[in-house]
Structure formats: structure tokens, C-alpha cells
Amino acid sequence: MRGEADAMAERTVWDLPTRLFHWALVLCLVASFLTVKLHEMRLHAWFGYTSLTLVLFRLVWGLVGSESARFVRFLRGPAAVANHLRGLFRRDPDREITHNALGGWAVVALLLLVLAQGTTGLFANDDIVFRGPLFPLVGKAWSDRFTTWHYRISDALLIMVAVHVAAVLAYRILFGRDLITPMLTGRKRLPGAVASPRLASPWLAFAIFAVAAGTVWAVVTRQLF
Ligand code: HEM
Ligand code: HEM
């Protein structure tokens, strides 16, 4: 028989800012890939700037935001990863109020790849008419190198996104853990003994987002250098 502590209860694990960040990033990245294929470079740049803003926001939110969004909370060592994998194959109930020990590292990889993708884009050119806003700082030869990296990183990003989506689906299909609903609604069913994460104010998120947008704007319009 199940004890009191094992009864399941709904908890809010993902705050609204983290969820909005996730789905906005998905939208911007899909749009970045589509616009470049259509040679809509101005739109490509705009979706790129927005992706950069989102990632800057998320890096700061990972330091001062809700408990479940914090890097210190979800970046764990190899022992925790091994423990997580054992629990998964034992089909233990999901007790995570943040990313699991494996997913946490994937999140960091995704964020760093998007940051690198956006940053190299600022210096890139398309050999025809479009130049990233920071092209004048480096000149054509270096811009071409940045463009090559922009291409390479976009391949790595595509692979990482494919792994990410495959992993999320595998958790659902193979291990019976639904991660998608919580990323949509914020809510997750957890064993009663698991404490809810402490959530930070959405106003703080809004302020951080505004500063991130201002920073990207200042870089892109070259107000800083
Ligand atoms: C361009 C494509 C995508 C990118 C760049 C991306 C990136 C990310 C990032 C950075 C996080 C961490 C969220 C945070 O802590 O702020 C995350 C989590 C998550 N993503 Fe995605 N994602 C993409 C597509 C998708 C898609 C299509 C799905 C749905 C099938 C999805 C489902 C999830 C879920 C469920 C989580 C939470 C995982 C957990 O509970 O640990 N993602 N994603
Ligand atoms: C972070 C989001 C971004 C993503 C996902 C992204 C993705 C891509 C992809 C997939 C390509 C084409 C690679 C190929 O054809 O194989 C590309 C090319 C390019 N991107 Fe981005 N990019 C981003 C941000 C930016 C930014 C912010 C700029 C500049 C403002 C930029 C400027 C360029 C340029 C100049 C090219 C070369 C186009 C060509 O050779 O025709 N990108 N990008």
C-alpha cells in the first residue's frame, strides 16, 4: 500500500518566464532556419537577435531566477547522472522539480550553441549584399571565417536539437515520463513528499529580459564600440 508521502500531487515546476523562453526560442530558431533558406536575410538577422536576447535572458535567469531554472540546481556530477539513468530503467516515478541530471547538461549545450550561433552571425556575410552588423569591426577575411563557423555551428545545433527532441520523446514512450506537458502548463504530478520549487517574480524576469534586449540592441547598433 502507498504511504501518505507517496500520494501524487500537482506542483508548479516551470514558471511562466521559463516556458515563454522555451517556446519563443523554438519559434525563433525555426524561423532563422526558414528565413535563411528563403534568402530573407533581414528577417534572419531579426530572429537571430531575438534568439540572442532570449539566451542572454535565460543565462541570467539561471543565476537569479526560480529554483527550478537555476544552473546550480540542475547541473549535477557523473554520479547523479548514473543514478538518474538507473532510476529511469527501474521505472522509478519522476521526482524531478527541475531538469534531470542528464537533461541539465543538454540544456547548457543548447544555450551555448545558440549563443555561439547568434554571435558568429553578427560578424558573418552572405558574399552578396548582406553583412552582419559587426562586419566592419573585423573585415571581409575574418567575416568569412565567422561565416564558416556560423555554418558549422548551425549543423551542431541541428544535431543537438534532434537529440533533445528525440530524448524528450524517448522519456515519454520508453520510460513513461511526460516532460512536455509541464513545459506547456508548468504543472507536474509528483510524489507528495517532493517539495515545490521556490518561484521568482515574473517582474524580475521582465526586467532581465528588458536589459538583455537593450544589450543586444546596443551591440547590434554599435552604441558600445
Ligand atoms: C529549436 C528547437 C528547440 C530548442 C533550441 C530547445 C531548447 C530547450 C532548452 C534550452 C531547454 C531548457 C529550458 C529551460 O530550462 O529554460 C529545453 C527544455 C525542454 N524542451 Fe526544448 N528545445 C527545442 C525544441 C523542443 C521541442 C520541439 C519540444 C517538444 C517535443 C521540446 C521539449 C522540451 C521539454 C519537454 C523540455 C523540458 C525537459 C525537462 O523536463 O528537463 N523542445 N529545450
Ligand atoms: C541564433 C540564431 C541563428 C541561427 C539559428 C542561424 C542559422 C543560420 C543557418 C542555418 C545558416 C545557413 C547555413 C547553410 O545554408 O547551411 C545561416 C547563414 C547565415 N546567417 Fe545565420 N543564424 C542565426 C543568427 C544570425 C544572425 C544574428 C546573423 C546576422 C545578423 C546571421 C547572419 C547569417 C549570414 C550572413 C549567413 C550566410 C548566408 C549565406 O551564405 O547565404 N545569422 N544562419
**Ligand minimally distant from the alpha carbon of residue 163:** 1
Q: What is the chain's alpha carbon radius of gyration, rounded to the nearest angstrom?
A: 20
* 91 Cβ neighbours under 8 A, 6+ residues apart: 175, 176
Cell of 140: 571581409
Domains assigned to the chain: 8-220 (1.20.950)
Res 103: pLDDT: 97
Burial of 73 (0-12, 13-18, 19+ CB in 10 A): middle
pLDDT in tens, 27-72: 999 999 999 999 999 999 999 999 999 999 999 999 999 999 999 9
- Is pLDDT above 70 for 2? no
**How many Cβ atoms from other residues are within 10 Å of residue 222's Cβ?**
11
Res 192: pLDDT: 86
Pocket test for ligand 1, best of 52, 58, 183 (most atoms within 8 A of CB): 183
* pTM assigned to the model: 0.96
Res 6: pLDDT: 66
CB of 182 sitting under 6 A from ligand 2:
no
Cα–Cα distance for residue pair 58/17, rounded to 1 Å: 9
- Is pLDDT above 50 for 4? no
Cα–Cα distance for residue pair 222/15, rounded to 1 Å: 34
166 against 128, higher pLDDT: 166
